[in-house]
């Protein structure tokens, strides 16, 4: 089976939820979803979470230790 790669994108502009879902392949992702993401030093498994005290797309963060300060938007992931 051939691997596919997609980019984590900003939510649909019509998603007016205070915690809009980021998109991968056009589908909204959920808090707790895990991905294999490309970083400058290679591929790493990450998990995405939502900070409830922050609204908008900036509420998403990587909960995997060592990657908490990396914005997930724009990362390429295996799908």
CATH of the domain at 68: 2.40.10
* 15 half-sphere exposure, CB direction, 13 A CA radius: 17
- What are 24-63's pLDDT values in tens digits? 999 999 999 999 999 999 999 999 999 999 999 999 999 9
Mean pLDDT of 72-78: 97
pTM of this structure: 0.91
* CB within 8 Å of 79: residues ≥ 6 apart: 4, 5, 6, 24, 25
Domain with 57 in it: 5-78
Number of domains in the chain: 1
Look at residue 1 and tell me whether its pLDDT is greater than 90: no
């Amino acid at each position: 089976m051939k691997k596919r790669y997609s980019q984590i994108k900003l939510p649909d502009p019509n998603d007016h939820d205070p915690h809009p879902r980021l998109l991968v392949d056009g589908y909204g992702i959920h808090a707790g979803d895990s991905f294999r993401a490309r970083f400058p030093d290679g591929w790493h498994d990450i998990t995405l979470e939502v900070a409830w005290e922050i609204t908008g797309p900036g509420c998403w963060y990587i909960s995997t230790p060592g990657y908490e300060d990396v914005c997930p938007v724009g990362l390429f992931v295996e799908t």
